[in-house]
């Protein structure tokens, strides 16, 4: 791996943080979608949620998440550059995510994010996103989001 330039590292960290803020906002899915390339893949299958191919599938999933939830809270840390080939960069981070559903159900997860990103029109966007568990997954996650 070629060493990731500091400005790229900072841009990818900002993208990951912006993703958490967009998910936590629970009001407008557009800022979240703007963080992804049109052909992005979001693979949440390791935590029992769907693999989404393209922005349309990502939108459908998050429209459901936003409709189901009253609160979200994500803390992100331990950023680590994973790869850099001069055009695409991947960054990983640890995340603690919490939420409350409209039905009163709650969820807390400790997961690992990996985002592979490319620069498009002077912005960095994620083209491949995966979440993997770091601790056992709670049953409430599938209860709340398993039908999306």
CATH number of 92's domain: 3.10.450.50
CA 118 to chain centroid:
15
Which residues are CB-contacts of 116 (< 8 A; sequence separation ≥ 6)?
83, 88, 89, 90, 126, 127, 128, 129
- Is residue 18 in a domain? yes
Q: Is residue 140 included in any domain, yes or no?
A: yes
42 found inside a domain = yes
For residue 136, the enclosing domain spans 6-145
Are the C-beta atoms of 41 and 47 separated by less than 8 Å?
A: no
Exposed/middle/buried for 141, CB within 10 Å: 0-12, 13-18, 19+?
Answer: buried
Residue 135: other Cβ atoms inside 10 A: 10
Q: What does the pLDDT look like over 33-50, one tens digit per residue?
A: 999 999 999 999 999 999
**80 — phi, psi (to 5°)?**
-145, 125
Please give the tally of structural domains in the chain: 1
Half-sphere exposure of 63 (CA within 13 A, CB side): 6
pLDDT tens digits along 61-107: 999 999 999 999 999 999 999 999 999 999 999 999 999 999 999 99
Percentage of residues in the chain having pLDDT higher than 70: 95
């Amino acid at each position: 791996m070629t060493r990731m330039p500091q400005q790229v590292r900072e841009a990818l960290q900002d993208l990951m943080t912006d993703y958490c803020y967009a998910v936590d906002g629970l009001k407008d899915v557009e800022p979240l979608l703007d963080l992804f390339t049109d052909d992005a893949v979001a693979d949440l299958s390791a935590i029992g949620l769907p693999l989404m191919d393209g922005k349309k599938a990502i939108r459908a999933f998050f429209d459901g998440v936003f409709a189901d939830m009253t609160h979200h809270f994500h803390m992100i840390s331990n950023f680590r550059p994973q790869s850099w080939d001069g055009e695409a960069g991947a960054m990983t981070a640890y995340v603690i995510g919490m939420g409350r559903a409209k039905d009163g159900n709650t969820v807390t997860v400790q997961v690992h994010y990996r985002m592979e990103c490319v620069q498009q029109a002077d912005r960095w966007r994620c083209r491949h996103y995966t979440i993997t568990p770091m601790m056992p997954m709670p049953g409430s996650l599938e209860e709340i989001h398993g039908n999306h």
